[in-house]
């Protein structure tokens, strides 16, 4: 994965180098122009990627990725990505409170809590607590959601003092 990342990074550097030059303001006399700095960084990063790749090939360093993590734990992490990404995608539609309840329950289960009733009650209490802290105490407006979720969020919003 490390080598693949290095290759992607090298391609990104080449692409970024030419892209920046295309869009940038041309440099005037005595000034570097707004492409100079990013281009210098792209060149530096490209050189470092090459050194890193050479380092890996020449000295056959042991890769850190994957080492010490079983496929089961890797699947758990991947499920974690999916839950977090899903939380962000759902939030504008489901509203903060509903998505928070789902996420706390799902992620808690992923991390090993198997007492479903306890998990549900705990998630509900934590959802109410976070919503109260942000919307009630700190006055920070959180996503309300759409359709029926909007009605639920508005109803909950009326419960917060102030």
Partner 1 sequence: MVQAFISGVETLFIPAVFLSVAGGTVLGVVLGAMPGVSASIAVVLALPVAYAMDSVTAAAFLSAVYCASITGGGITAILFRVPGTPSSAPTTLDGYPMARKGEGGKALGFSVLSSMVGGLAASLAMILFCPLISEAAQMAGPSERFALFFLSIAVLVVMDNHNFIKALMSAVLGLLIACGGRDPVTGSSRLLWGDFLPDMGRELIPIMIGLFAVGGVLGQTGKERRGNRVWQTENGGKTRILFPSFKELWAVRFSMVRASVLGILVGILPGAGATSASFLSYAIEKRLSKHPERMGTGVPEGIVAAEAANNGATGGSMVPLLALGIPGGNAVAIIMAFLLARNVEAGPGLVGEHPEYLASVFGSMALTSVLMVLAAAVVARGFAKLLLVNYNAVGPLIVMVAAAGAYGLNQDMKDVALMIGFGIGGYFLVRMGYSLAAFVLGMVIGPMWEQNFYQAYMLAEGNSERIFTRPVTVLIMAVSILILLYPLVKLSVEREKS
Site for partner 1, rule CB under 8 A? 1-2, 5, 9, 16, 19-20, 23-25, 29-32, 34-35, 37-38, 41-42, 44-45, 48-49, 51-52, 55, 64-65, 69-70, 73-74, 76-77, 80-81, 84-85, 87-88, 91-92, 96, 100, 103-104, 106-108, 110-113, 122, 126, 130, 134, 138-143
Name the residue among 13, 20, 14 with its Cα closest to residue 34. 20
Number of Cβ within a 10 Å radius of residue 8: 11
Q: Write the secondary structure of 52-111 as one string of H (helix), E (strand) and C (coil).
A: HHHHHHHHCCCCCCCCCCCHHHHHHHHHHHHHHHHHHHHHHHHHHHHHHHHHHHHHHHHC
Please say which residue, 63 or 155, places its beta carbon nearer to partner 1.
63
Minimum separation from the CB atom of position 48 to partner 1 (A) = 5
Minimum separation from the CB atom of position 60 to partner 1 (A) = 14
């Amino acid at each position: 994965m490390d080598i693949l990342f290095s290759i992607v990074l090298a391609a990104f550097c080449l692409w970024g180098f030419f892209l920046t030059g295309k869009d940038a303001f041309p440099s005037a006399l005595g000034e570097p122009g707004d492409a100079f700095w990013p281009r210098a960084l792209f060149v530096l990063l490209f050189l470092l990627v090459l050194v890193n790749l050479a380092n890996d090939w020449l000295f056959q360093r042991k890769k850190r990725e994957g080492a010490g993590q079983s496929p089961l734990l890797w699947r758990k992490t991947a499920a974690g990505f999916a839950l977090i990404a899903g939380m962000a995608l759902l939030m504008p539609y489901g509203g903060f409170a509903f998505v928070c309840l789902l996420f706390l329950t799902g992620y808690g289960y992923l991390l090993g809590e198997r007492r479903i009733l306890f998990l549900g009650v705990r998630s509900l209490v934590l959802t109410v607590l976070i919503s109260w802290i942000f919307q009630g105490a700190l006055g920070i407006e959180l996503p309300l959601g759409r359709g029926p979720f909007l009605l639920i969020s508005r109803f909950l919003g009326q419960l917060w003092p102030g």
